[in-house]
Structure 1
Amino acid sequence: MEYLSITISLVSLVVCLTVYNKVSAMEARIKTMQVNVDQIAKSEGLPPHLVQNEVLQLVRNGKEVAAVKKAREVLGLSLLEAKQYVDALKE
């Protein structure tokens, strides 16, 4: 009985690690695709994402934390990526 429990635990661990690795790889691919889409949009002269103006307005009003939060929510960025996005808008 104890052997079965250990086996199930190990199988569960392997499955969880496999799923985690797959999700991480997919997130990396999606971020790469987003960078490519952004570069294409910029080279074709397309307007920026609609949230950009709202984030920029928050920064101008001294609400940088709210701007980072908004960028994370709408664009699906990590905390570091959202901070870098807001910092780039400030420049």
Structure 2
Amino acid sequence: MEYLSITISLITLFVCLSVYNKVSAMEARIKAMQVSYDHIAQEDGMSRHPVQDEVLQLVRDGKKVAAVKKAREVLGLSLVEAKQYVDALEA
């Protein structure tokens, strides 16, 4: 009986970890799609994200690190994604 409960616990743990990994991957894909959408919207002249002007002003003031931090906080991006976002705004 003890082996059965250990086996069930291990299977449950494995399933939970698998679900967590899938959710994390989906979150990353959604963030990447949002960044892509923002770039497309910017190129087409569509409305921009409200934080974009603030991030751009931080870059112009020479506060690139603060701009990356702001982009990460507001847009929920990873460090690399936020850096790419700020670099794209700078260009």
Instruction: Write out aligned runs for 1:40-51 (5 A).
Output: 41-42=41-42, 44-51=44-51
Structure 1 unaligned residues grouped into runs of 5+: none
Identity score, percent: 77
TM normalised by structure 2 equals: 0.74
Give deviations 1:11-60, integer Å, cap 9, x for gaps: 24302321222212321441354255332x34653122111110111111
More RCO (CA 8 Å, sep 6+): 2
CA RMSD, 1 decimal: 2.4
Calculate the TM-score normalised by the size of structure 1: 0.74
Q: How does 1:1-91 map to 2 (within 5 A)?
A: 3=3, 6-7=6-7, 9-35=9-35, 37-38=37-38, 39=40, 41-42=41-42, 44-91=44-91
Gaps of 5+ in 2: none
The number of residues matched between the two structures is 90
